[in-house]
Amino acid sequence: MGDLVLAIDQGTTGSTALLIDPQLRVLASHNVEFPNHYPAPGHVEHDIEEIWTSVQTAIRGALQKAGVPATRIAAIGITNQRETSLLWDKSSGRPIHRALVWQDRRTADACAALREAGHEPLFKQKTGLVLDPYFSGTKARWMLDHVDGARQRAEAGQLAFGTIDTWLCWRMTGEHVTDPSNASRTLMYDLHRQEWSDELLHLLGVPRAVLPRIGASSEVYGHTRGLGLLPDGIPVAGLIGDQQGALFGQACFNKGMAKCTYGTGAFILMNTGTTPKTSQHGMLTTVAWKLGGDTTYALEGSAFVAGQAVQWLRDGLGLIGSAADIEALAMSVPDSGGVVFVPAMAGLGAPHWRPHARGIVRGITGGTTKAHLARACLDGIVLQMVDILEAMSADLGAPLAELRVDGGASANNLLMQRQADLLGVRCVRPKERETTGLGSALLAGLAVGIWGSMDEVAQAWSEDRAFSPAGDPKEIAHTRDLWKQAVERA
């Protein structure tokens, strides 16, 4: 048996492969980007073959960088962009349509129709979610309704539905399976019964025959076969949605612990223990993971645009040469000069849930410079997190003690300090920032015995740097007031 775990972190703009040893060290990682496709305003799609090519290239790159043979891989963990969905033909393996990405808004009217028919309370009670095009259920319905013959083929059992974890597992092992963390993002999963809901499937018009089996987040789902780049027989043993993977990778194993991942969007999850917590403040209730027969739940709040706002300053406006340049530019001014940037380019997520909101920049004067815009951009990312965490704390009935942070933008020290200042809570960055992939690797390793317990994992987690609140209270209050006014107009 090998001694390494291969983690596949399949994201919105790229796929990363990581090789992790028993001491939780990342021996090598390799990222491969692939394009998003935008066939119409509000439509965002992936070509699944481009994703598969990126995954294969990432695996080869990680093995080459580590200088180890693939025979050392003891298990594979998969973590994924969660709500991105596709349907494929079971016999040929070909998708019937490009995958619809979590950012895709084409089903906003379908969600509105379900709300107007009075169905949202039922969906919220059963799934912990709101009726928003973010989630997978209406995406599946759209493909069934808009691809010729799809519904008939689905009802005949000829098609398979899946989020990206399911498709990758099927591609590598031939097994059609998902885990509860991904199933709970579909609008089709009953949190309380922990199974697909026939009542919700009927309302969505999705045949049960297309859905995968729901396993645990840590078990042997199947073994690699016929891949060429990897030997046959390696167990695929961990499946988890990317944000839940980061919560696990951050060792947030106790109730009340929370993490924020800053990526294309920004995502906060808070561990709420073994009972689903219904939010009264616009948060989502979701499965964190299922391990050893026990299910752990979380509250979640998402901002659809975070790092993408920095990319817009780089690519759309040409204000910076690279994303990393924003920190120095923003630090060249003491504040945003009264400029407020609400990065709602893809609508507002929790706790507002306004899919038709759009980004705004407010407070521009003749003295506004690109440095002020950069500073406002970073504050806009941070203030979305403040809104979410305040709502979570209200749901939990207790203030947040600490926020663990990860993702690419967590390397930006100014952003992290502003997060601590505007939130008023200590923010802690771990030594290992690839926490999403690490979470899936840990789950896979637990399934095959590389790690013996979650306590062993928690003891191995280590801190890189902590950011403590240090801002001027008057400036913070003023910044937050301007933000609230701007959000109302977005």
* Per-domain boundaries in the chain: 4-242
Alpha carbon distance 447, 82 (integer Å) = 22
Rounded mean pLDDT, 213-232? 96
Q: Which among 101, 297, 127 is positioned nearest to 217, based on CA atoms?
A: 297
* Residue 433 DSSP one-character state: -
Q: Which among 30, 25, 27 is positioned nearest to 8, based on CA atoms?
A: 30
37-60 pLDDT tens trace: 999 988 999 999 999 999 999 999
Model confidence at 423, pLDDT cuts 50, 70, 90, reads very high
119-178 pLDDT tens trace: 999 999 999 998 989 899 999 999 999 999 999 999 999 999 999 999 999 999 999 999
What is the model's pTM?
Answer: 0.89
Strands (E), 170-265: 177-178, 189-190, 195-196, 213-214, 218-223, 235-241, 258-262
Residue 367 reports pLDDT greater than 90: yes
Alpha carbon distance 337, 235 (integer Å) = 55
Cis geometry, peptide bond prior to residue 351 (ω within 30 degrees of 0): yes
428-449 pLDDT tens trace: 999 888 899 999 999 999 999 9
Q: What residues have CB less than 8 Å from 199, skipping those under 6 apart? A: 122, 126
Q: Please tell me the total number of residues recorded for the chain in this structure.
A: 490
SS3 state at 485: helix
Query: Which amino acid belongs to residue 170?
Result: W
Rounded mean pLDDT, 344-359? 87
Alpha carbon distance 184, 126 (integer Å) = 10
Alpha carbon distance 107, 206 (integer Å) = 14
Residue 420 to residues 265, 311, 409, 471, Cα–Cα distance (Å): 19, 23, 14, 9
Q: Which among 131, 287, 121 is positioned nearest to 194, based on CA atoms?
A: 287
161-215 pLDDT tens trace: 999 999 999 999 999 999 999 999 999 999 999 999 999 999 999 999 999 999 9
* Residue 214 DSSP one-character state: E
Q: Which among 15, 42, 38 is positioned nearest to 164, based on CA atoms?
A: 15
411: exposed, middle or buried (Cβ count in 10 Å: 0-12, 13-18, 19+): middle
Residue 144 to residues 42, 105, 206, Cα–Cα distance (Å): 19, 17, 8
Rounded mean pLDDT, 252-275? 91
448-484 pLDDT tens trace: 999 988 888 888 888 899 999 998 899 999 999 999 9
Alpha carbon distance 106, 91 (integer Å) = 29
Bridge partners, 100 (sequence order): 45, 85
13 dihedral zone (left: phi>0; alpha: psi -120 to 50; beta):
alpha
Q: Which among 382, 377, 463, 381 is positioned nearest to 421, based on CA atoms?
A: 382
Alpha carbon distance 240, 460 (integer Å) = 20
Alpha carbon distance 44, 59 (integer Å) = 26
Structure confidence at residue 396 (pLDDT): 85
CATH classification (class only), 4-242 = alpha beta
Q: Torsions phi, psi of 50, nearest 5?
A: -65, -35
How is 339-358 classified by DSSP, letter by letter?
Answer: -EEE--BTBB-TTT-BTT--
How is 38-66 classified by DSSP, letter by letter?
Answer: -SSTT--EE-HHHHHHHHHHHHHHHHHHH
CA dihedral (413, 417, 422, 425) positive or negative = positive
Residue 422 reports pLDDT greater than 80: yes
Indicate the average pLDDT of the chain. Answer: 94
SS3 state at 124: helix
Structure confidence at residue 471 (pLDDT): 84
